[in-house]
Structure 1
Amino acid sequence: MHHDAILASSARQLLQQLVTSYPSTKMVIVSLHTFTLLAASSLVDTPKQIQLLLQYLKTDPRKAVKRLAIQDLKLLANKTPHTWTRENIQALCECALQTPYDSLKLGMLSVLSTLSGTIAVKHYFSIASGNVGSSPRSSDLVKLAQECCYHNNRGIAAHGVRVLTNITVSCQEKDLLALEQDAVFGLEALLILCSQDDSPGAQATLKIALNCMVKLAKGRPHLSQSVVETLLTQLHSAQDAARILMCHCLAAIAMQLPVLGDGMLGDLVELYKVIGRSATDKQQELLVSLATVIFVASQKALSPEVKAVIKQQLESVSNGWTVYRIARQASRMGNHDMAKELYQSLLTQVASEHFYFWLNSLKEFSHAEQCLTGLQKENYSSALSCIAESLKFYHKGIASLTAASTPLNPLSFQCEFVKLRIDLLQAFSQLICTCNSLKTSPPPAIATTIAMTLGNDLQRCGRISNQMKQSMEEFRSLASRYGDLYQASFDADSATLRNVELQQQSCLLISHAIEALILDPESASFQEYGSTGTAHADSEYERRMMSVYNHVLEEVESLNRKYTPVSYMHTACLCNAIIALLKVPLSFQRYFFQKLQSTSIKLALSPSPRNPAEPIAVQNNQQLALKVEGVVQHGSKPGLFRKIQSVCLNVSSTLQSKSGQDYKIPIDNMTNEMEQRVEPHNDYFSTQFLLNFAILGTHNITVESSVKDANGIVWKTGPRTTIFVKSLEDPYSQQIRLQQQQAQQPLQQQQQRNAYTRF
């Protein structure tokens, strides 16, 4: 029904008549909720439905109807916030100000807090119809939020503070000094109140307050210092459960505003010395959270004093799992020297050889990345030795990683990611050697004559031109492989996918630099790379990589305009770009260690042979109806990062071996290439393909599946299934062919006898 706007409107009119005729509580509740679902699905009459719900909320005295109206308003606020007018929000504010019931006020405030984080709040504070600006300080929405900030109900206070925070962040052009102070004071009051209580309700309220602090520090950077000081002060006296959440908040703020990291590092280290006196779960969790904040705050490298404090605390009170989690965080933040020592300490504390090989591989990878910290600009011989040393440990690590894999846990993403890193380092090393060859093996004296003869000006540079072309193709191939890894990582979190994307951009950057500086400087374009630095960076690793990209592009563009290729300045620019990329410590993101979402597809084909190596017999004048069934399997958290909207099934067949005579067959009958999209229902899907095998022989049928998420992105998740089909000649054609052969035999024998008689 929701696909037909006319039918949806007719159904709405019918339901309105029913509500008017039968105004009982159950009838009103069912009808209103049906109205809401219909409006949200059909995307028509949504403003009318909002007005209707507000009317029932304001005039209907029944609490059940009011609660249903609030629930449906919350649904529409989440799905269609752009349809809310200023009058709608004003009416909801008036209802919240007038109601004496805390439960109803809490529900209305939750709707308003949802709307305050969307475009609706900008509509509310936009220019009114009389060309008079609406002052945020005098609006009913702000009055309601200020009134609720210090309410004795924690939920109401949390939503009031959230509304104030969203208004402060969204309305950047307004003079909101008073609102900023109200938001900060309200957050401080909630923080003090909830940090002393470890009940689930207090922790849920504290999460809302801490999220508001992160948003306020990001949207109003001049308030970030006071927010951080409040958190650090309260961190000493808070409960352990609250401390963990506050550490997460501090880490998020330090990721967005790295300049605050140095200021909080001293307090964090002092606190780390005194916590963890017991081995409770909360204390162990707090050790991990606080160590994470220290890693984020220290940014580039840990000082020896900080490392000593962390190791001393871990040796005294922590268990092996806590040490592993801290080492994992160190690898994610790029502190590979600390991670290597922690992985080394865990090697003798595991009982399984697979765990041992896994930890040993992580230790080798950390050691390999630590070798790259000694790179120095314009010291190319040292760079080659550092890369060679790093490759040595990476090869040791990939051997251990392969030994750690099992059939149930094949570690496919980890192995492919490390293999790509090894190939990238080898490509970097080869490019530096190629650049050095301009000095060790300069072009011959006749290179200019050869270039003029061939009409290729680049040949005057000697063999370095061909080597550079090979390097450029190699980096483009690596970028393509990183793209394949990205498409195969359906279950990865966004930070891991962004990390893979950054590695791909590094390969594309170097290939573009080679083309712009040496191979084709005249047609090189910098416009498509110019927006690299405009994107918002969510981590320090991404921020530093973006900075390197921008610097390299500026250097390449400057050289491209000033000098003709190939000079020592061009090769030095390429080598310095490689060193700058490698000096940023690699971040091993969450998906390398932990799979929070697990999605897999199992396919079943019919008909299927009893023996997988045995082909299915089909006559060549018939078509094979191949039925493909599948089941989508999920882990404990289905749809955490993305959900499957449809499954793409691709069926192709190739001829393995011919049998019998060759016939003239249309080209359409020689190949089978089909694709279908099916939507799973209750994680099950099914479809059929009609395949034609006109050519006699054995055919190989491959069925490959991929998935399409809610955003329309296609992910190559697999699996890939293969069966064999043997195309046989149909009996009628075989009989006619035999009769023709028998009829031709006497004629051939007669021709042979005639030939003999002539001789």
Structure 2
Amino acid sequence: MLGVRVSAFNENGLGEPDQDANSALTELDKGLRSGKVGEQCEAIVRFPKLFEKYPFPILINASLLKLSDVFRMGNNFLRLCVLRVCQQSEKHLDKISNVDEFVRRIYSVIHSNDPIARAVTLRIFGAVAAIIPERQQIHHSIRSSLDSHDSVEVEAAIYAAIQFAAQSKTFAISMCNKVSDMIQGQSTPANMKLQLIPILQYMHHDTNTASMVRSLCIDLLPSYPAQDFVLVTLNTLTQLAAATLVDIPRQVNLLLSYLKNDPRWEVKLKALEHLYELAKPGAHLWPLGAIDDIVDFVKGTKQTRILTQALGVIQVLVESPRMCHEHRVAGSKLKELCSNHCYSPQPFQENLETDGADDVIAALETLILLLTFSNEKHPSHLKVALKCAVRLCEAKQEYCEVFVELLGTRLDSIDSEFTIVICEALGAIGGLKPETLLPLVDTVLSLLTAHAQLPDTTPLQTRTKTMLCTLIFQTLSGYKWNESTYNSIIMVVDNNNLWANYCIARAAVRYGHHKIAHYIFEGLTEQVSSEHFHFWLVCLKEMSGAESQLYSEESSTLVNRLDMAVIHYNKAIAALKAASTPSHNLTFQTEYMKIRTEFLQCLLQLIYTCNILCIVPPPAIAATIVQNTRDEYQRHGYITNQLRKCVKEIKNCGDLHWKLYQTAFDADPATLENMQILQQMCVLLEQCVESICVGGAKVRDEPIEFGSKNIRLESQQLVKACETALKVAQRLAEDGSGSTITHKQVEIIKAIVEILTNASLPIPRYFFQVLQCTSVKLAISPQPRVLGEFISVQAGSQLAVKVEGVIQHGMKPGLFRRISEVIITVTSQLQNNAKNKEVLDPKLLEQVSVLTQTVTPHKDFFTAQFLLAFPRGGQYLLAVEASVVDEHSNTWKTGPRSSLTVKVPEEAKLAPISVPGMANNANVILMAEDSLFIRPHQKKIRLSLIFSSS
């Protein structure tokens, strides 16, 4: 039997969903108190994951205090592990509340006789320098350790000095003379001087110190000509000049001298890197002729790496208006350089003006042809060149035909690796102007047929087939398929692997080709091993089947098509519920399909309502109803109320689209555009129906605005349907007959419904793929001792609620938008207790207390505090909800939402008591002056006699 080591705590890295922060900390605390060093080390190294999962101050403070105890009492290996935790948890260090206690426990080791222990202590102080920058005793310890005879301790002191100099102005200035003496001293080893020089880059807080440090570094360059010394010194001088700005001209001249005169290529590369760094903050400060020196150097070199970095420096410099003004003349060296290197296999993007665009396009076409005809394959170079072509097409769409014609000639004559790159470029251009791809349909179909007939396909060929199918879907978006095209796609699918077929079907529904997607999904439903995947594919099959029914030519009437689509969508929603798991709840997908189903049901109900005009005559008392309600539309009877009901349902559907839009913080722009168009579709239909059944309502005259000038290819069919429906709806205004519902108006409404039904729905990317993942986690205190119980609050007192939260990101944080602020909303509402015989006044139940606070996250952590008052006894429901605000001040209702129950005891009601000797018709009420509870030593009780006559 194999031996398996059993850990004292979870191997899942604290990733259990049901494990809270306290349980995780308790589990690790057991490991820290273990007698085995191995278990202690294993517990220590798990703390960074704990901080990432639960980055709340109370937990981080308690954890680091425990680790500081381990550091104080443990051996050097445990201390080294604690050091690694502090270095990996840098962004959480400012959440330590007991900084003094933490420093006291760590600082006690600095007096150890072991130089290794002192060295680790200095390094841990350097790691936490951001929270203790002005601790004088630590500054003194670093200076003392620099004079140590142990090299390990000195190196640790240098590391700590660098960290504290970056944080503390006082420390940087006080260490200037000490570091200068050590660098100039003969007793300091050369390797130690290399470590000391970087400290000087932080000596920029006053003019005299910065000038002295620069003079020292300039003197070091000829004294220590070794490559390592030159590189470190130049880096220090560059950082110093970037901070002070006044030394940028002198530093540029120094770097240019090393670029031209130093024969070592590493020094030349570093000089170019430093010039690039100085070009960003101070291009306007560069001395005259500096850019000409770089151009002269580039002309004399044949090294590709040197050329690329030099062009990068020039690219940053020409973004400055001053540089552009100086080199605007036709014979400038800069323009000559750009002309000579426009065919380079290392292209880069420039902010080119319209002038000379034809020359750029000609050069780019030549470069693409050279790269595709060359025997040496450079797919990365071709990809960069094609990216430049796509950017030109984005700037001016009239260039699309030029590049599509060029790439189309190379599509069928190169190998698969280049085919994928060219297909990606064609897809990007087709997304801008899809009609330009129509001449390539026959070429793409012939390639598909050739690839489909191959007996064995490689992964590269499979990916090529997927890309070619996507090109077909893009090109034929909005067009009717012929039989040969459909058969070509079917042939590819029948000779393809399952994952590639899923990708093809996903691309098909993205561009609205639901018939072919339905065929593919139907063949995949029984080809998966997981039950959840099976139901997910069943959902996609039913969804694509529903959409293909809407514009199917087989169904006879519009009502039949809508009815079948609704049935398919209901099956899809049921399958989606079965496909959901706790880790993948598929909330967006469910809501998106529910709203789509609701919209189709609204269309179906509207058709039924329009038919009422012919089959349900107005009642005999219609004139009386009109006279009583003063509503002329009631003259038509039943159809008026049904049309108004349809208006409410369509408006509700549009509101649901807006609510879903507000929750989709991580959605890509195309998905948001899709939901916005669907909402506008609901608004348009609502206005059309309202204009014929509500007095004073009218259809909009202006064109529909969707928030972006260039509508993406996926949404163009929906936009065309909205624009066509709007043109048809204008006839309603022309046919306005006062307060009369005419047969012509009803037919126009039916025509609008037909147009909106025939619009192919593109399923957005966010339905299948989440590229950005952002979540907010809340911790609310106080919490009840037992889960599900209530929190008790004394009558007349207030409850302090503290809300702490953390923002968690996926693999690509901030890909589409970032969180700049978080809005915390606490709602308090009195509940009607069913056990209590007394039923509260409905007006009291309607009173809701709402408190809102906007906080700015700091390193993905935020906190807010509220003070809640309860005006009367009873049971209250507290709801805490978080919303986020992005960098453009847009509010997103992402949640989460948590609730607490607070119970406030009712005020005691004292029954009247009888006092001997008083009349029977007198009532006496005993009232305590301050409290209902009287202490034993209080003998005097205040009495209030309240007499009431019978």
Aligned equivalents of 1:438 and 1:92: distance in 2?
Answer: 80
- The offset of 1:325, in angstroms, is 1.0
Q: CA deviation at 1:424?
A: 0.2
Measured after TM superposition, the shift of residue 660 of structure 1 is 12
Aligned to 1:746, the other structure's residue is in SS state coil
Q: Which residue of 1 aligns with 2:902?
A: 725
2:414 corresponds, among 235, 238, 243, to: 238
- Which position in structure 2 is the counterpart of 1:414? 589
Q: Which has the higher helix share?
A: 1
Q: C-alpha distance in 1, partners of 2:482/2:598?
A: 32
Choose 518-527 or 605-614, whichever is displaced more: 518-527
Other-structure match for 1:673: 850
Quote the Cα distance in structure 1 between the aligned partners of 2:610 and 2:443: 48
Distance 1:550 1:597 in 2: 32
Larger mean CA deviation between 670-679 and 402-411 belongs to: 670-679
Q: Closer, same or farther in 2 for the Cα pair 1:347/1:91, shift >3 Å?
A: same
> 1:684 aligns to what?
861
Residues 251-290 of structure 1 aligned to structure 2 (within 5 Å): 251-275=427-451, 277=454, 278-290=456-468
Tell me, in whole angstroms, the C-alpha distance in 1 between the residues paired with 2:642 and 2:809: 48
| Offset of residue 387 of structure 1 | 0.3
Larger RCO, structures 1/2 (Cα 8 Å, 6+ apart): 1
- CA 1:138 to 1:401, structure 2 compared with 1: closer, same or farther past 3 Å? farther
CA pair 87-143 structure 1, distance change in 2 beyond 3 A: farther
Give the stretch that moved more between structures: 333-342 or 485-494. Answer: 485-494
* 1:103 corresponds to 2:279: no
Tell me if the contact between 2:784 and 2:791 (Cα under 8 Å) persists in the aligned partners.
yes
What is residue 880 of structure 2 aligned with on the other side? 703
Distance in 2 (alpha carbons) for counterparts of 1:92 and 1:12: 30
Shift in Å at residue 107 of structure 1? 2.5
* Per-residue Cα deviation, 1:504-556 (whole angstroms, up to 9, x for no partner): 111111112223455245665534x45459821121x4222222222332333
Amino acid in the other structure paired with 2:414:
A
**Could you give the per-residue CA deviations for residues 301-340 of structure 1, whole angstroms, max 9, x where no partner exists?**
4332223223223333x22111111111111111111111
Residue 145 in structure 1 maps to residue 323 in structure 2? no
| Aligned residue among 327, 350, 363 for 2:541 | 363
Residues 505, 56 of structure 1: CA spacing in aligned structure 2 closer, same or farther, 3 A cutoff? Answer: farther
SS in structure 2 of the partner of residue 640 of structure 1? coil
Evaluate the alpha carbon distance shift between residue 471 and residue 754 of structure 1 in structure 2; reply closer, same or farther with a 3 A threshold.
Answer: closer
User: What SS does structure 2 have at the residue aligned with 1:637?
Assistant: coil
In structure 2, give the amino acid aligned to 1:109.
L
TM-score by length of 2: 0.65
Q: Could you say which residue in structure 1 is the equivalent of 2:722?
A: 549
* Partner of residue 490, structure 2: 311
Paired residue type of 1:250 = L
Determine whether 1:538 maps to 2:712. Answer: yes
1:610 and 1:373 mapped to 2: Cα distance? Answer: 58
* 1:204-353 correspondence runs (5 A): 204-275=380-451, 277=454, 278-299=456-477, 300-316=479-495, 318-353=496-531
Uncovered stretches (5+) of structure 1, i.e. residues with no partner: 2-9, 40-44, 77-82
- Equivalent in the alignment of 1:608: 783
Task: Give 1:218 shift.
Answer: 4.0
Tell me how far 1:263 sits from its aligned partner. Answer: 0.7
State the Cα distance separating 1:582 from its structure 2 match: 1.9
Q: Give the superposition deviation at 1:14.
A: 7.5
**Corresponding residue for 1:486?**
661
Read off the aligned partner of 1:145 and give its amino acid letter. C
Q: For residue 736 of structure 2, what is the aligned residue in structure 1?
A: 563
* 1:646-669: CA deviation from partner (whole Å, max 9, x where unpaired): 332211222225789999xxx9xx
Amino acid at match of 1:146: S
Alpha-carbon offset, residue 49 of structure 1: 10
Alignment of 1:364-403 (within 5 A): 364-374=542-552, 382-403=557-578
How far residue 750 of structure 1 moved from its aligned partner, in angstroms, is 4.0
Counterpart among 355, 361, 364 of residue 180 in structure 1: 361
Q: 2:235 aligns with which of 26, 29, 33?
A: 29
Distance in 2 of aligned mates of 1:545 and 1:177: 35
Which amino acid is the alignment partner of residue 110 of structure 1? Answer: G
Q: 1:441 maps to what in 2?
A: 616
CA distance 1:751–1:467, shift in 2 (3 Å): farther
Contact 1:240 1:286 in 2 (8 A): yes
1:634 maps to 2:840: no
SS in 1 for 2:557: helix
Aligned equivalents of 1:618 and 1:533: distance in 2?
Answer: 50
C-alpha separation in 2, matches of 1:590 and 1:50? 48
Q: For 1:49 and 1:431, how far apart are their aligned partners in 2?
A: 75
Give the superposition deviation at 1:367: 0.8
Distance, in Å, in 2 between the alignment partners of 1:96 and 1:749 is: 116
Given the two structures, how large is their TM-score scaled by the length of structure 1? 0.80
The residue identity in structure 1 corresponding to 2:920 is Q
CA distance in 2: counterparts of 1:90 and 1:365, whole angstroms: 66
Paired letter, 1:563: G
SS in 1 for 2:793: strand
What code does the residue aligned with 2:895 have? Answer: G
Deviations 1:58-95 (A, max 9, x none): 5664646633444436756xxxxxx9889999965773
Q: How much has 1:686 moved relative to structure 2?
A: 3.1
Tell me the distance in 2 between the aligned counterparts of 1:49 and 1:525: 63
Report the residue type matching 1:613 in the other structure.
G
Counterpart code for 1:727 = V
Code of the residue aligned with 1:402 in structure 2: it is K
Give the direction of change, closer, same or farther, for the CA distance of 1:64–1:207 in structure 2 (3 Å limit): closer
Runs (5+) with no aligned partner, structure 2: 1-165, 167-203, 219-229, 260-266, 924-948
2:15 equivalent in structure 1: none
Q: CA deviation at 1:698?
A: 2.0
What residue identity is the alignment partner of 2:709? A
Whole-angstrom distance in 2 between the partners of 1:525 and 1:332: 30
CA distance in 1, matches of 2:754, 2:288: 55
Equivalent-residue separation in structure 1 for 2:292 and 2:750 (angstroms):
62
| Higher CA-based Rg | 2
State the distance in 2 between where 1:204 and 1:475 align. 51
- 1:428 CA drift (Å): 0.9
Q: State the identity as a percent.
A: 29
Contact 1:468 1:519 in 2 (8 A): no
Question: What's the offset of the Cα at 1:97?
Answer: 5.3
- Residues matched between the structures, number: 691
Q: Does 1:579 align with 2:778?
A: no
Q: Which amino acid aligns with 1:397?
A: A
User: Matched residue of 1:275: which SS?
Assistant: helix
Q: Secondary structure of 1:752's partner?
A: coil
Aligned partner of 1:79 in structure 2 is: none
Q: Which AA in structure 2 matches 1:609?
A: P
* Counterpart-to-counterpart distance in 2, 1:273 and 1:585: 27
Describe the SS at the equivalent of 1:95: helix
SS in 1 for 2:913: helix
Offset, 1:440: 2.7
Aligned residue for 1:365, secondary structure, equals: helix
- Which residue of 1 is the match for residue 28 of structure 2? none
Deviation at 1:418, TM superposition (A): 0.5
Structure 1 Cα separation of the partners of residues 917 and 422 of structure 2:
100
Q: Is the 8 A contact 2:365 2:406 kept in 1?
A: no
**Cα drift, residue 121 of structure 1:** 9.5
Match of 2:271 in 1: 66
Q: Name the CA shift for 1:693/1:456 in 2 (closer, same or farther; >3 Å).
A: closer
Paired residue type of 1:328: R
Q: Contact 1:375 / 1:383 at 8 angstroms: preserved in 2?
A: no
Shift in alpha-carbon separation, 1:260–1:662, aligned structure 2, 3 A:
closer
Q: Which amino acid aligns with 1:471?
A: C
Mapped to 1, the partners of 2:413 and 2:247 lie a distance apart of 49
Per mean C-alpha deviation after superposition, the further-off stretch among 502-511 and 97-106 is: 97-106
Q: 1:331 to 1:51 in 2, by over 3 A?
A: farther
Contact 1:146 1:182 in 2 (8 A): no
Who is 2:913 aligned against? 745
Per the alignment, residue 687 of structure 2 pairs with 512
Counterpart amino acid of 1:488?
A: T
Counterpart contact for 2:238–2:278, Cα < 8 Å: no
